[in-house]
Amino acid sequence: MVFNDKQTWAQKTLAADDIYKKVVKALKPHGLALPKTPRRPDIRLIVENNSGETIQFMNPGDHAKQQPEIIPATGDSRAIMVMLKGDTLEQQFENARKLDVIFKLSQKGLTKVFADALGNDQILQYVDEAYGPAPLNGQADRLVSLAWETQDRGIINIDPYRGALCAYGARAAENETVFRNEIALFIKGTNTIPECVEGEGMCVAVSEDWKTGKISTRPIVPSVAREFYGAAYDNIPTVLINPLGFVQAVDLKNGQAAIDVTPPVRYTLKTQNVALRK
């Protein structure tokens, strides 16, 4: 990819969806696929509606697209699920504890006071999103004692809390597809051998919609990915991308040599034309 001043911002962007498709295509002839990587779970707070009345509120994360969340007063599913802010598990757990103490969630459960506070800036420093309804027992039973290994090989221990009307903690880590891209960019000085630019590139996580099966991708900068994947970060597959935009090699980090990819003819010709103009 030869950048110039006439290109738009979009023309200087590589599409993660396209990269993923090229990786899948490169691995298929070898009978291989991208492995799954364990991802750190987030802390969640579950609070049951014991008020005797239906409670409505707006999700601070707006995932419902301006539609109110409605938590019934009766039935098995009458709890709210709250995702906490915080860069680390400890910070998220502490934010859940603070909300429990401030609003007496263990004793009172979900109240209109707490629901109304979800739109308050002071409370939003603790809350990322909130939605429902959900079953308190069913969700609380999924919380586990977690021992998460960080990238520097430290261990973070999180034990779930269970009160009469609320619970908070982490689920078991789930596996997801993720790979890290490195751009094969070389810089040449005056009468010097070109040197490859060092860098960790960009991670790309791949998700599949549980309803439609549609694949989607999202970029994650390495500094954030280290928190997400902990000790498993070092084993994330690496994809080498040529500056022209094609996948040049895939290293599955499985102890085997990286898989080299033959570039399409159009890229080969483009490279030759660039060389001829010099």
Distance CA 182, CA 240 (A): 5
Which of 110, 139, 171 is the endpoint of a domain? 171
**Is 2 within a domain?**
no
Strand partners, 168: 45, 161
- Tally the residues of the chain: 278
**Are both 50 and 135 inside the same structural domain?**
yes
**Are both 66 and 110 inside the same structural domain?**
yes
- pLDDT per residue, tens digit, the chain (278 aa), is 455 556 665 556 888 999 999 999 999 999 999 999 999 999 999 999 999 999 999 988 766 567 899 999 999 999 999 999 999 999 999 999 999 999 999 999 999 999 999 988 888 899 999 999 999 999 999 999 999 999 999 999 999 999 999 999 999 999 999 999 998 778 889 999 988 877 788 999 999 988 898 999 999 999 999 999 999 999 999 999 987 778 999 999 999 999 999 877 655 544 444 433 33
**Are both 163 and 178 inside the same structural domain?**
no
**Are both 162 and 178 inside the same structural domain?**
no
Which of 171, 193, 227 is the endpoint of a domain? 171
**Are both 127 and 212 inside the same structural domain?**
no
Domain range for residue 245? 10-38+174-277
Tally the domains of the chain. Answer: 2
According to DSSP, residue 6 is labeled T
**Is 3 within a domain?**
no
**Is 137 within a domain?**
yes
pTM: 0.81
**Are both 47 and 148 inside the same structural domain?**
yes
Longest dimension (CA), the chain: 80
C-alpha of 27 from chain center: 23
Q: Are 51 and 240 in contact (CB under 8 A)?
A: no
**Is 5 within a domain?**
no
**Are both 193 and 240 inside the same structural domain?**
yes
**Are both 264 and 250 inside the same structural domain?**
yes
Residue with tokens 């709210």: 80
**Are both 17 and 110 inside the same structural domain?**
no
